[in-house]
Each structure stands twice: as structure tokens, then as C-alpha cells.
């Protein structure tokens, strides 16, 4: 089935971009867990987040993509990097990369992966083949309407949580300049 | 193929929206080249203007009045030895300036030089610009860390903390400007319904909203638009690590800047990224508050005569520059040592005059208007940057953060709330 | 040869060259900074030792400051000086009194005329002679011009350290006019050797009064320009108000003199308290501050500049005629004895303690440099301040390493 043609720019090489971006995300995920140097892991994570922003664009959600870049890649990862750089790195680089229980971990990951595949295969009939495509131009408006209308309570709770975190951080760091 | 190329010429959208890859590529090359030339010109202007503020002359030897100085600097930096610290992480050391450079240059794909003169017009234009310019913070942090020495690290962490803090204040100011795009009324206080009032995040849409509402957002809901512009103007200086917020990269402070360990070409990439970021945030300010590419008074001084008067400005400005160059030629010392410089300056003046005359010709004159006014406004901001650097002392780091969080942010939130209230009431 | 530097032979000399190695030897004076810190990271312990090395754009010379920091806050400082020590006082023991005169300029090379004035007056006191009135007036004019030049240099470099790069060029441009007058008078701009023991060697040149009067009209708008750039600038106020405070009691206890003392509220100026040269004839005020912070030191020095102009104007109007040199023997052999004579140099109290043993060469010349004593106040001033304030405080103390190290 063809995706619905949107007003504006036509989608181009959808399949290629999907496989490219997903592959990039997976690759960066692998790098995050296999690199010895934590800074390299953080950089790989940034790459994965940017690829994810591309995937959001492909789902006709440009606002989410933009916010992903600003907040995740440009804000949260910067804070990750701060903490990584302030902690003594040499100690962590001498640690072993994979601990002794790697077999158990591997089996658990395989089991989880099998569960996902089972859910997808069995539930294929439950997911509609084509989700109602959101209109690209009004992504921002729709998110705004939903966030401040239907999900207002969750929004306020989340902001209250963040406020508590900010106050906690300020109190803990206050005795130094 | 030729059809593909010429089919775009008759459309009235940006190449990105028309899907025309060839013209998009041409535009990208033009913008890239323009920004590079602008960065070099900015380098020269900074040295000359700073010198004149300090009652000295600045570069005078390399080329007439130092006009070839940026080229000499570029050659020097290119031929310098590339020193990489021994224990530094080579990959991160290499990639940090590239991240800053790419982040600073990618922003230009949405900068609107005219109603159709942008590479593309994303419908999340302003969000994209803010997001991608925040990626340069990562480059700064990585540059400091990769130098493997704790003074650059402290400098980099301070610099990035400063940039992240002022992004918040910038965001508040930007949101209140975007809020104004969704208003219906005309004029500074929005009385009477005259516009469609669909809010938009796209850069071209914001400028068109200003045109529909017959007012620059600078003057909208006066003084709210003005205060929002002021917050953005201060935050953008802090965002690009320029004076008076340049403690992280000042030489006379203890913690040297994040680019200490970089030499030669890598260091010049940092400077290139910094100037490009300055031009980028200035174009955000111009687009959001100063009416983008519109000439002054597009709605109060209307009519073909006023249009003609204002359309003569590009040619007149280039002719004025040519006159200044010729005055410089007349004042050159009459010594054989200066013969080459005199001829060079006269040639430069002749080229400027020729460009000015070309800009008087009607077909060129009509098309160059938008680009000229946009670039003129951004150039005004660049001069302001240099002026700030010459005049103000430096803020101490804790005072810097205090200004960002305790002064600009509350004022920004206040302006946002008041704008929203006024937008609903009026 | 002279008797040599008196030395306490019982006390062993501490070897200062090993301070770079971490040591807990209690004899070295750095032990209070606890340099021995194995394996500490940023998060483990908050304390960090940073070295502001001899080569640094903001230390006004070769000064080394070792800072002990807790994050951004300064817990303690230690100044290591001696990088510019040239043995001037030892040299004095092997030169005659007249031969030593040019050496004196090189100590505080910014205000060389004041150094010469102090030395010449000290030797004149030892010889019990007095310079003629005209010489005294010429001395006052040149010394006050030099005070102005020194303060202008201070202002330019201090503003540059805090980040304002433009006042530097303005003050240096205006200082040129003073240096031109010096050059016309005695041939040198910086190390002037303007005075001789007993008076002045050179008569004022043709047009001296005209030049000085023209300068007096030229400068006040320039001082207003400096004030316009800085005094009400919000950033300047934030960087200087409350920074580097030294209380009145501390200032007196540490022996701090000059504008630093006056900014803490102590009305003590040697030109009024123990008048020398012709200062008793002139009418001028002594600006004092209130809080003893950097901003007060700034205002005190700016006002001192204006008061200097006032003194010069009065001196030029009333300069008497007469000889410029007293009757001094060609070969000077002062009687056995010692004197201490101090003057108000731009940086503080500059004192000369000269011990004479009757021969043509002094037995001992000890200089009390104002910068040396003022530098000791650095520790008190930056305790609890941030790192960026250390630079501002070093600037506001107005030290010249040539004087500190001699």
C-alpha cells in the first residue's frame, strides 16, 4: 500500500532512509555498550539520538524531531558528558568491560528478543497496517492541543517532578560555589 | 535535465520545498561561500574597528588598509604545525572542531534572505535553528576534554555551562516572538482583525506574519517586543562566548579556553565556527524581531516613489564604500613603497563602485532588495558585537550565570506571560 | 669593598628551589597549603593547587602566585617573588652616592621620578643640605606629572585585566604627552634620572611652563573620558565593588600605604603628614575611601589624578626664580650616621634607609618599597574570593615587580 501523499515535499527514498537510520541507531547502541572509554560511549549515544530524530521526521513528526535534538542531544547529553568528564576516567578504563556473568546476560537478551518477535508476529493483526498519518504541517499544533488539553494533568505532574529534582540538585550542590 | 533546472525558475517557493535538488545545491554553494566570505570580512572588520575604538590603526601593511590580512592569517594558520597532545584522544580531538563547524553551518539552510531566497523552509524552522546551534555545545565540551589537561577542561565545562544557561533565556524570548505570529490584529497593539493569525515556526512564515501585521515584532505590544528582543540580544552574545561573556576564553584569566591545545588549521576551524554562529544567531534576531528582509517602513511609507527611494539604498551604499576607498587612496603617502597599495586600493574602490552601479540597474535592483536589507541588518548586529567587545569589561563567571538565570530568565518568562495575556485580550 | 649584606648566620637558609616538589617539610613556608595530595580527583576532594606562573599576562611582571582553591574559592595564596631581583641594594654598597642615583630609577620603573626624588632627598638629609626653592618646585612638578603617568598606566592595565581593553589605549595615549615633557626635560622617557643630589641638573627648557600648562588643559577631559567608560558601568561595578576588601585595622597592621590605605578610610598621606620638597606650599586634598574594596581604590586613584593636576597648576604659576643646585662637594663624604627618609610615591610610602660610614660609598642602602609591603595584603584580600578576583586584586594593588624584588 502506498503511504498517503502529504502536501509539501514528497517523501524520497523512504526505504533506504529507514534502513540507514535504524541501522545507525542499532550500531550506535552497540558502540555505547562495547566502548571502553565512557566518552566514546556518550558520543555514540548522541549519534543514536540524532538518528532517532531522523526516524521521527520520517513519521511526519517534525516537532518531536526538533525537540529531540534540542533537549536530548543538546541538553541531556551535555550533562552526561559533564559528569563523565569530572569523574576520574582512568579508574573506569582499567575495569573489565564484560563481567563474569555474561552468559546469563546473553541468554536473558535472547529470551527478551524472542518475546518481542513473538508479540510482533502474533499481534500483526492487531496493529493496523497503516496508522492514520498525522498531517505534517500541524504536528506542533496537535501536540500542543493534546498536551495542554487532554494530558494536562500528566504534564503538570512531570513538571512538578522536574522541579523537585532541580531543588534537590541545588540543595546538594549549595555548599560549594 | 534542462527542463528540471528551468522549471524551478518560475516557481515561488524555496528549492527545498519545490524539491529541486539542483537549485538547492546551487543555493547551498552560494550561502556557504557567502558565509565564508562574511567570516573573513568579519575578521578584518573586527581588527580594524577594534583598533579604531582604541585610537590606533589596526592592520595596514598586508594589502591596502589591511584588506588582505584575513588571507595572510589563513595562510599562516594553514601552514602551521599541527600539534596534537600526546595523551589526547585522537578521534575526539579531531572531531570536536568539526562538530562545531557543522553545527554552525547547518543552521544556514533555513535562514531566509528573502521570501523565496532560502535553501528550504522547514515548518519547524526556528526550532531547527535553536536545536542545531545547541549541538555546538557538544563540540566545545569534547574539545576541552580531548586536550587532556585540566585547564582547558575547566574552561570547556564553564563555556558549555554558560551556553546551555543562555539557551534557556533565548528560548523564552523566541517563544514570545513565535506567540506574536499567531495574532490577528494589525499594528503595534493589534487592534482590529486583519490577519489570518496562524502561528508558525517557520522562518519565512514569521517574517510574513510581521508583514501581515504591519509591524516589526520589535515594536509589537511595545515595550514587550523590545524587551524580548533585548533578552535575545544579550543571550545571543553569551551564547557565542563573546565579550562581555568571554571569561572562558580570555587570556588573562587562569583557566585558559577550551581551544588552547589546538593549533593551526584546527584552531581556525573554531574561529570559523564562532563567527558563523554569531552570524546565525544574528539572523535569528533579525528574522524574529527586525522584520527579516523587509525594508524600513514597508507599511507606513508605501507607494512606488518610496519603493524607488528605498530601492536605491544598495547601490548608494556600495557607492559610498567606493568613495571611502577613493578617499583612502587620496590619503596614501606618495612614496614608491606604497605604490602597490595605492593601486590595489584604487582597484578595490573601482570594483565597489562598479558593483554599486550594477545595483542601480532595474532588473538587478528589484531582485537584490530582500537580500540587501537582510544582510544590512545582520551587519549592524556584527558591528554591535565588535562594539561590545571594545567597550565592556568581562563578567566574572558566577556573575555571568547569575545574569542568565536570575535576571534574563525571569524577565523572559514575564514577557512571555504578558504577551500571551495581551494576545488573548486584544 | 663594603661590609657585605648583614646575615643571620645561625638560621639556615631555606632552599626555595624545591618548592615545586610536593613536600610536607614544616620549615618550608608552603606547608600551610598542604601540597602533598596523592591521587586526588575533582570529586574526591575539593582542594586544588594552581600555580599562576611567573609568566602570566595579568601579574604585571614576574610574579608567581600559588593558589589553593576549593572549587572556585580561594583558600590561601602564597606569592613567590625574586624573579626580578637584581641586587640593587648590594650594588649600592659599591657605588658612590652620585653613581647610585641612576640605579634608583630602575626599581619602580613606572614612576622613576619619585624614586629619584626620595633618594636625592634622603642623601640631602644625610648631608644636611637643602635644595633651593626653584629646584624644589621643579621636583614637585615632575613628581606629580609622574604620579599622573603612573596612575594612568595602572588604570589601563587594571581595566585590561578585568576585560575592558579600550581604556588601556586611551591612557597610554595620554601618558605619551607626559613622557614627551620628560624627554624634553632630561632626555629620557621612562628611567629619567631627573634629579641630582642637591637640586636639579637641568634648568627647565624653553617652553616648559607652556607645555605643562597645555597639558593641564588637555588632560581633565581625558580623565572624564576614562570615568565615563568605567565608573558607572554596571559590569565594572559588579567586578570591583566588594572585591578585595581590606579593613582599616588590617591595612594599618600590615603596613599597607598609599591609595590602598587611603581607600580603607585612613587619611594618611606623607605629603601632608610629613611634607617634603615644596608640598607644604600647595593646597590640595587627600581623597579617602570608605569600604576598602577595589572600587574605592579606583575612585581614590582617579581623584588623586585630579589633585595632582591641581598641585601642578599651582606650582607652575608660582615657580620662583633662582639657582637650581645647592652647594654640594664634588666628592661627597657624608658624616657617619643613618637616616630614614620616605616620600609618598604613587604606589605608597617609598622609604630609603641609608647608613653612612663616612666614606664616599654608603655602608647600606635599604629601600622600603611600597609594592613589596602592599603585596603582603594580597593574602588577606583574596581569602574567600573567587579565582577571577585574584587577578583584579593584583591589579588594584598596583605592584611593580621591579620594586618588589629590587
Banded pLDDT at C43 (limits 50, 70, 90): very low
User: What CA dihedral angle connects B336, B338, B340 and B341, to 10 degrees?
Assistant: -170
Across the interface, of A8, A46, A62, the residue whose CB is closest to B124 is A62
Is B396 in contact with C386 (Cβ distance < 8 A)?
A: yes
Q: What average pLDDT does range B272-283 have in this prediction?
A: 92
Question: Which of these, C206, C194, C211, C216, lies nearest to C277 by C-alpha position?
Answer: C194
Asked whether residue A117 is domain-assigned, the answer is no
Distance CA(C192)–CA(C183), nearest Å, equals: 8
Across the interface, of A12, A46, A62, the residue whose CB is closest to B138 is A46
All residues of chain B having their beta carbon less than 8 Å from the beta carbon of residue A81 are: 138, 141-142, 145
Is C72 in contact with A88 (Cβ distance < 8 A)?
A: no
Residues A83 and A145 in one domain: no
Is A88 in contact with C71 (Cβ distance < 8 A)?
A: no
CATH number for the domain including A63? 1.20.120.1200
Is B145 in contact with A46 (Cβ distance < 8 A)?
A: no
Residue C33 above 90 pLDDT?
no
Query: How many other β-carbons are positioned within 10 Å of the β-carbon of residue B171?
Result: 19
Beta bridge partners of C49: C68
- Residue B197 confidence (pLDDT): 65
- Residue C7 confidence (pLDDT): 47
Is C43 in contact with A177 (Cβ distance < 8 A)?
A: no
Query: How many other β-carbons are positioned within 10 Å of the β-carbon of residue B418?
Result: 16
Question: Which of these, C363, C305, C306, C303, lies nearest to C333 by C-alpha position?
Answer: C363
Name the closest residue on chain A to residue C47, using Cα atoms: A176
Query: How many other β-carbons are positioned within 10 Å of the β-carbon of residue B424?
Result: 8
- Residue A95 confidence (pLDDT): 61
From C71's Cα to the closest Cα of chain A, the distance in A is 7
Percent of all residues in chain B with a pLDDT value above 70, rounded to a whole number: 95
In B128-240, the DSSP E strands lie at 185-186, 191-193
Domain boundary among A25, A59, A89: A89
- Residue B415 confidence (pLDDT): 93
Of the given ranges (A48-57, A132-141, C65-74, C174-183), which has the lowest mean pLDDT? A132-141
All residues of chain B having their beta carbon less than 8 Å from the beta carbon of residue A82 are: 141, 157, 160-161
Distance CA(A163)–CA(C312), nearest Å, equals: 64
Only one residue has cell 557538544, namely: B138
Name the closest residue on chain B to residue C48, using Cα atoms: B150
All structural domains of chain C: 88-368 (1.10.645.10)
Only one residue has cell 552574545, namely: B237
Residues A83 and A18 in one domain: yes
- Residue B264 confidence (pLDDT): 81
Q: Give the CA distances from residue B119 to residues B21, B22, B23, B27, in Å, rounded to whole numbers and listed in that order.
A: 10, 11, 9, 6
Residue B103 above 70 pLDDT?
yes
Query: Which backbone phi and psi does B151 adopt, to 5 degrees?
Result: -70, -50
B164: phi > 0 → left, psi -120 to 50 → alpha, else beta; which?
A: alpha
Across the interface, of C50, C163, C166, the residue whose CB is closest to B394 is C163
Domain boundary among A51, A66, A89: A89
CB of C159 closer than 8 Å to CB of B393: yes
A60: phi > 0 → left, psi -120 to 50 → alpha, else beta; which?
A: left
Which residues, given as ranges, of chain A have pLDDT below 70?
1-13, 88-98, 127-137, 175-177
Distance CA(B41)–CA(B19), nearest Å, equals: 33
- Residue C31 confidence (pLDDT): 43
Is B54 in contact with C229 (Cβ distance < 8 A)?
A: no
- Residue C4 confidence (pLDDT): 44
Asked whether residue A98 is domain-assigned, the answer is no
Across the interface, of C43, C46, C70, the residue whose CB is closest to A86 is C43
Distance CA(B171)–CA(B413), nearest Å, equals: 10
All residues of chain C having their beta carbon less than 8 Å from the beta carbon of residue B391 are: 164, 166, 229
Distance CA(C340)–CA(C366), nearest Å, equals: 9
Tell me if residue B199 falls in helix, strand or coil: coil
Name the closest residue on chain A to residue C386, using Cα atoms: A177
Query: How many other β-carbons are positioned within 10 Å of the β-carbon of residue B209?
Result: 23
Question: Which of these, C87, C89, C91, lies nearest to C1 by C-alpha position?
Answer: C91
Q: How many helices (H) and strands (E) does chain A have?
A: 8, 0
Banded pLDDT at B254 (limits 50, 70, 90): low
Question: Which of these, C78, C68, C77, lies nearest to C382 by C-alpha position?
Answer: C77
**Complex ipTM:** 0.82
DSSP B187: T
B interface with C, Cβ–Cβ below 8 Å: 50, 53-56, 243-244, 246-247, 250-255, 389-399
All residues of chain C having their beta carbon less than 8 Å from the beta carbon of residue A177 are: 71-73, 386
Name the C residues in 2-31 with CB < 8 Å from any B CB.
none
Of the given ranges (B125-134, B205-214, C152-161), which has the lowest mean pLDDT? B205-214
Cβ–Cβ contact C52 with B under 8 A: yes
Task: Quickly list DSSP for B288-351.
Answer: HHS-TTPPSSTTTS-SHHHHHHHHTHHHHHHHHHHHHHHHHHHTS--SGGGHHHHHHHHHHHHH
Is A87 in contact with C70 (Cβ distance < 8 A)?
A: no
Q: Give the CA distances from residue C178 to residues A141, B112, B115, B117, C62, in Å, rounded to whole numbers and listed in that order.
A: 69, 55, 59, 58, 26
- Higher pLDDT pick, B247 / C200: C200
Query: How many other β-carbons are positioned within 10 Å of the β-carbon of residue B12?
Result: 8
CB of C359 closer than 8 Å to CB of C378: no
Span B47-72, pLDDT tens digits: 999 999 998 988 988 888 888 999 99
From B400's Cα to the closest Cα of chain C, the distance in A is 10
B58: phi > 0 → left, psi -120 to 50 → alpha, else beta; which?
A: left
Q: What average pLDDT does range C68-81 have in this prediction?
A: 83
Across the interface, of A39, A69, A141, the residue whose CB is closest to B145 is A39
- Residue C21 confidence (pLDDT): 45
Span A45-87, pLDDT tens digits: 999 999 999 998 888 888 889 999 988 988 899 888 888 877 7
Is C57 in contact with B251 (Cβ distance < 8 A)?
A: yes
Mutate to test the interface with C, among B237, B396, B407 (most CBs of C within 10 A): B396
Distance CA(B138)–CA(B102), nearest Å, equals: 12
The residue range of the domain holding A167 is 135-177
All residues of chain B having their beta carbon less than 8 Å from the beta carbon of residue C166 are: 53-54, 390-391
Question: Which of these, C268, C248, C250, lies nearest to C348 by C-alpha position?
Answer: C268
Query: Which backbone phi and psi does C355 adopt, to 5 degrees?
Result: -110, 125
Is C386 in contact with B244 (Cβ distance < 8 A)?
A: no
Is C165 in contact with B56 (Cβ distance < 8 A)?
A: no
Distance CA(B142)–CA(B93), nearest Å, equals: 7
Distance CA(A73)–CA(C6), nearest Å, equals: 69
Name the B residues in 17-56 with CB < 8 Å from any A CB.
17, 19
Q: Give the CA distances from residue A127 to residues A19, A133, B107, in Å, rounded to whole numbers and listed in that order.
A: 21, 14, 38
DSSP B408: I
- Residue A5 confidence (pLDDT): 46
All residues of chain A having their beta carbon less than 8 Å from the beta carbon of residue B167 are: 74
Question: Which of these, B29, B92, B70, lies nearest to B275 by C-alpha position?
Answer: B70
Q: What average pLDDT does range C203-221 have in this prediction?
A: 90
CB of B143 closer than 8 Å to CB of B258: yes
Cβ–Cβ contact C163 with B under 8 A: yes
CB of C77 closer than 8 Å to CB of C107: no
Q: Give the CA distances from residue C351 to residues A33, B234, C52, C192, in Å, rounded to whole numbers and listed in that order.
A: 70, 50, 30, 19
Is C41 in contact with A176 (Cβ distance < 8 A)?
A: no
- Residue B334 confidence (pLDDT): 85
From A87's Cα to the closest Cα of chain C, the distance in A is 7
CB of B81 closer than 8 Å to CB of B263: yes
Chain centre to alpha carbon of residue B45: 14
Distance CA(C35)–CA(C78), nearest Å, equals: 12
Span B357-410, pLDDT tens digits: 988 888 888 788 888 999 999 999 999 999 999 988 888 888 888 998 999 999
Residues A18 and A76 in one domain: yes
Domain count for chain A:
2
Residues A19 and A85 in one domain: yes
Question: Which of these, C351, C353, C361, C367, lies nearest to C405 by C-alpha position?
Answer: C367
CB of C406 closer than 8 Å to CB of C350: no
Only one residue has cell 600526546, namely: B86
Residues A85 and A141 in one domain: no
Q: Give chain C as a 3 state SS string.
A: CCCCCCCCCCCCCCCHHHHHCCCCCCCCCCHHHCCCCCCCCCCCCCEEEEEECCCCCCCCCCCEEEEEEECCEEEEEEEECCCCCCCHHHHHCCCCHHHHHHHHHCCCHHHHHHHHHHHHHHHHHHHCCCCCHHHHHHHHHHHHHHHHHHHHHHHHHHHHHHCCCHHHHHHHHHHHHHHHHHHHHHCCCCCCCCEECCEECCCCCCCHHHHHHHHHHHHHHHHHHHHHHHCCCHHHHHHHCCCCCCCHHHHHHHCCCCHHHHHCCCCCCHHHHCCCCCHHHCCCCCCCCCCCCHHHHHHHHHHHHHHHHHHHHHHHHHCCCCCCECCCCCCCCCCCEEEEEEEEECCEEEEEEEEECCCCCCCEEEEECHHHHHHCHHHHHHCCCEHHHHHHHHHHHCCCHHHHHC
Distance CA(C312)–CA(C11), nearest Å, equals: 50
All residues of chain C having their beta carbon less than 8 Å from the beta carbon of residue A86 are: 42-43
Is C165 in contact with B54 (Cβ distance < 8 A)?
A: yes
Span A19-28, pLDDT tens digits: 999 999 999 9
Cβ–Cβ contact C109 with B under 8 A: no
Cβ–Cβ contact C242 with B under 8 A: no
Distance CA(B17)–CA(B323), nearest Å, equals: 42
Residue C267 above 50 pLDDT?
yes
- Residue A92 confidence (pLDDT): 54
Q: Which three cell numbers stand for residue B238?
A: 553569551
Is B17 in contact with A39 (Cβ distance < 8 A)?
A: no
Those residues whose C-beta lies under 8 Å from the C-beta of residue A39, and which sit 6 or more positions away, are A81, A84, A85, A89, B89, B92, B142, B145
Q: Contact partners of B by the rule of 3+ C-beta pairs under 8 A?
A: A, C
Across the interface, of A40, A66, A141, the residue whose CB is closest to B131 is A66
DSSP B426: -
Q: How many CB pairs under 8 A join A and C?
A: 16
Name the B residues in 53-112 with CB < 8 Å from any A CB.
89, 91-92
Is A177 in contact with C386 (Cβ distance < 8 A)?
A: yes
Span B172-186, pLDDT tens digits: 999 999 888 887 777
User: What CA dihedral angle connects C372, C377, C379 and C383, to 10 degrees?
Assistant: -160
Is B164 in contact with A9 (Cβ distance < 8 A)?
A: no
Banded pLDDT at C171 (limits 50, 70, 90): very high
Distance CA(C148)–CA(C311), nearest Å, equals: 11
Cβ–Cβ contact C355 with B under 8 A: no
- Residue A129 confidence (pLDDT): 61
Cβ–Cβ contact B168 with A under 8 A: no
Distance CA(B209)–CA(B419), nearest Å, equals: 16
Banded pLDDT at B335 (limits 50, 70, 90): confident
All residues of chain B having their beta carbon less than 8 Å from the beta carbon of residue A46 are: 138
Query: Which backbone phi and psi does C360 adopt, to 5 degrees?
Result: -75, -15
Q: Contact partners of C by the rule of 3+ C-beta pairs under 8 A?
A: A, B
Distance CA(B418)–CA(B189), nearest Å, equals: 13
Query: Which backbone phi and psi does A11 adopt, to 5 degrees?
Result: -65, 140
Asked whether residue A97 is domain-assigned, the answer is no
Of the given ranges (B151-160, B304-313, C25-34, C183-192), which has the lowest mean pLDDT? C25-34
All residues of chain B having their beta carbon less than 8 Å from the beta carbon of residue A86 are: 157
CB of C253 closer than 8 Å to CB of C265: no
Task: Quickly list DSSP for A79-96.
Answer: HHHHHHHHS-HHHHHTS-
Amino acid at each position: 500500500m502506498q503511504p498517503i501523499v502529504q502536501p509539501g515535499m514528497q517523501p524520497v527514498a523512504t526505504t533506504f532512509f529507514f534502513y540507514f537510520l535504524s541501522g545507525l541507531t542499532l550500531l550506535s547502541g552497540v558502540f555505547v555498550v562495547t566502548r571502553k572509554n565512557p566518552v566514546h560511549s556518550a558520543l555514540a549515544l548522541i549519534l543514536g539520538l540524532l538518528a532517532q530524530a531522523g526516524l521521527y521526521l520520517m513519521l511526519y513528526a517534525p516537532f518531536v524531531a526538533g525537540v529531540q535534538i534540542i533537549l536530548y542531544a543538546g541538553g541531556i547529553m551535555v550533562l552526561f558528558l559533564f559528569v563523565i568528564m569530572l569523574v576520574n576516567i582512568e579508574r573506569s578504563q582499567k575495569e573489565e568491560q564484560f563481567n563474569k556473568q555474561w552468559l546469563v546476560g546473553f541468554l536473558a537478551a535472547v529470551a527478551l528478543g524472542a518475546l518481542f518477535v513473538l508479540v510482533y508476529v502474533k499481534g500483526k493483526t492487531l496493529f493496523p497496517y497503516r496508522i492514520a498519518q498525522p498531517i505534517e504541517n500541524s504536528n506542533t499544533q496537535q501536540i500542543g492541543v493534546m498536551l495542554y488539553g487532554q494530558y494536562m494533568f500528566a504534564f503538570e505532574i512531570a513538571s512538578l517532578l522536574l522541579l523537585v529534582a532541580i531543588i534537590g540538585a541545588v540543595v546538594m550542590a549549595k555548599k560549594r560555589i | 535535465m534542462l527542463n528540471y533546472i528551468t522549471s524551478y525558475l518560475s516557481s515561488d517557493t524555496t528549492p527545498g520545498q519545490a524539491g529541486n535538488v539542483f537549485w538547492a545545491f546551487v543555493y547551498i554553494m552560494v550561502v556557504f561561500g557567502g558565509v565564508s566570505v562574511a567570516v573573513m570580512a568579519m575578521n578584518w572588520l573586527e581588527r580594524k574597528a577594534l583598533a579604531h575604538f582604541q585610537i590606533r590603526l589596526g592592520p595596514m601593511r598586508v594589502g591596502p588598509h589591511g584588506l588582505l590580512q584575513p588571507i595572510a592569517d589563513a595562510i599562516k594558520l594553514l601552514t602551521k604545525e599541527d600539534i596534537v597532545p600526546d595523551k589526547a584522544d585522537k578521534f575526539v580531538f579531531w572531531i570536536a572542531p568539526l562538530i562545531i563547524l557543522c553545527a554552525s553551518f547547518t543552521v544556514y539552510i533555513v535562514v531566509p534572505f528573502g521570501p523565496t531566497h532560502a535553501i528550504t523552509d522547514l515548518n519547524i524552522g526556528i526550532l531547527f535553528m535553536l536545536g542545531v546551534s545547541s549541538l555546538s555545545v557538544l563540540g566545545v565540551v569534547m574539545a576541552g576534554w580531548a586536550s587532556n589537561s585540566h585547564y582547558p577542561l575547566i574552561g570547556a565545562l564553564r563555556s558549555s555551562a554558560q551556553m546551555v544557561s543562555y539557551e534557556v533565556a533565548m528560548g523564552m524570548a523566541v517563544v514570545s516572538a513565535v506567540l506574536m505570529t499567531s495574532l490577528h490584529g494589525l499594528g503595534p497593539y493589534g487592534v482590529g482583525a486583519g490577519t489570518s493569525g496562524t502561528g508558525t515556526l517557520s522562518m519565512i512564515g514569521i517574517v510574513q506574519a510581521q508583514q501581515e501585521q504591519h509591524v516589526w515584532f520589535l515594536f509589537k505590544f511595545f515595550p514587550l517586543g523590545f524587551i524580548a528582543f533585548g533578552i535575545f540580544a544579550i543571550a545571543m552574545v553569551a551564547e557565542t562566548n563573546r565579550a562581555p561573556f568571554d571569561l572562558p576564553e580570555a587570556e588573562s584569566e587562569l583557566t585558559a579556553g577550551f581551544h588552547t591545545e589546538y593549533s593551526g588549521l584546527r584552531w581556525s576551524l573554531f574561529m570559523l565556527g564562532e563567527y558563523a554562529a554569531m552570524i546565525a544567531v544574528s539572523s535569528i534576531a533579525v528574522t524574529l524581531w527586525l522584520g527579516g528582509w523587509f525594508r524600513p517602513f514597508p507599511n507606513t511609507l508605501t507607494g512606488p516613489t518610496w519603493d524607488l527611494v528605498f530601492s536605491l539604498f544598495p547601490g548608494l551604499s556600495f557607492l559610498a564604500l567606493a568613495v571611502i576607498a577613493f578617499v583612502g587612496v587620496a590619503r596614501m603617502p606618495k612614496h614608491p613603497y606604497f605604490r602597490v597599495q595605492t593601486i590595489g586600493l584604487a582597484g578595490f574602490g573601482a570594483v565597489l563602485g562598479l558593483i554599486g552601479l550594477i545595483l542601480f540597474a532595474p532588473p538587478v535592483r528589484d531582485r537584490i532588495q530582500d537580500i540587501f536589507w537582510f544582510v544590512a541588518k545582520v551587519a549592524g548586529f556584527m558591528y554591535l558585537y565588535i562594539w561590545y567587545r571594545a567597550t565592556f569589561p568581562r563578567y566574572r563567571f558566577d556573575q555571568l550565570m547569575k545574569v542568565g538565570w536570575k535576571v534574563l530568565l525571569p524577565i523572559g518568562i514575564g514577557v512571555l506571560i504578558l504577551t500571551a495575556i495581551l494576545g488573548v485580550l486584544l | 669593598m663594603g661590609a657585605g649584606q648583614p646575615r643571620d648566620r645561625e638560621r639556615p637558609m631555606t632552599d626555595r628551589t624545591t618548592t615545586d616538589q610536593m613536600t610536607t617539610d614544616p620549615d618550608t613556608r608552603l606547608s600551610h597549603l598542604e601540597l602533598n595530595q596523592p591521587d586526588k580527583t575533582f570529586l574526591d576532594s575539593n582542594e586544588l593547587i594552581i600555580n599562576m606562573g611567573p609568566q602570566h599576562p595579568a601579574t604585571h611582571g614576574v610574579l608567581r602566585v600559588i593558589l589553593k582553591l576549593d572549587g572556585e574559592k580561594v583558600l590561601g595564596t602564597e606569592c613567590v617573588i625574586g624573579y626580578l631581583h637584581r641586587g640593587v641594594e648590594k650594588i649600592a654598597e659599591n657605588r658612590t652616592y652620585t653613581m647610585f642615583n641612576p640605579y634608583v630609577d630602575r626599581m619602580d620603573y613606572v614612576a622613576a621620578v619619585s624614586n629619584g626624588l626620595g633618594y636625592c632627598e634622603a642623601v640631602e638629609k644625610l648631608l644636611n643640605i637643602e635644595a633651593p626653592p626653584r629646584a624644589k618646585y621643579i621636583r614637585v612638578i615632575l613628581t606629580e606629572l609622574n604620579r599622573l603617568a603612573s596612575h594612568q598606566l595602572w588604570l589601563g592595565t587594571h581595566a585590561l585585566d578585568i576585560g575592558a581593553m579600550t581604556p588601556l589605549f586611551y591612557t597610554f595615549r595620554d601618558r605619551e604627552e607626559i613622557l614627551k615633557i620628560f624627554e624634553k626635560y632630561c632626555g629620557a622617557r621612562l628611567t629619567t634620572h631627573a634629579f641630582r643630589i642637591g637640586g636639579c641638573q637641568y634648568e627647565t627648557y624653553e617652553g616648559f611652563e607652556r607645555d605643562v600648562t597645555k597639558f593641564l588643559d588637555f588632560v581633565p577631559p581625558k580623565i572624564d573620558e576614562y570615568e565615563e567608560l568605567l565608573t558607572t558601568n554596571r559590569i565594572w561595578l559588579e567586578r570591583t565593588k566588594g572585591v578585595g576588601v581590606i579593613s582599616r585595622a588590617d591595612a594599618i597592621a600590615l603596613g599597607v600605604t598609599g591609595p590602598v590605605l587611603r581607600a580603607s578610610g585612613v587619611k594618611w598621606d606623607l605629603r601632608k603628614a610629613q611634607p617634603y620638597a615644596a608640598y607644604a606650599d600647595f593646597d590640595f586634598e587627600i581623597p579617602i575611601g570608605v569600604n576598602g574594596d577595589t572600587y574605592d581604590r579606583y575612585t581614590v586613584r582617579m581623584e588623586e589624578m585630579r589633585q595632582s593636576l591641581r598641585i601642578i597648576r599651582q606650582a607652575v604659576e608660582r615657580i620662583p626664580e633662582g639657582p637650581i643646585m645647592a652647594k654640594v662637594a664634588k666628592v661627597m663624604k657624608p658624616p657617619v650616621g643613618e637616616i630614614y627618609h620616605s616620600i609618598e610615591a604613587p604606589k605608597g610610602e617609598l622609604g630609603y634607609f641609608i647608613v653612612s660610614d663616612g666614606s664616599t660609598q654608603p655602608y647600606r642602602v635599604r629601600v622600603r618599597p611600597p609594592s613589596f609591603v602592599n603585596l603582603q595584603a594580597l593574602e588577606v584580600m583574596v581569602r574567600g574570593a573567587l579565582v577571577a578576583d585574584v587577578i583584579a586584586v593584583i591589579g588594584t594593588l598596583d605592584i611593580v615587580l621591579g620594586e618588589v624584588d629590587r
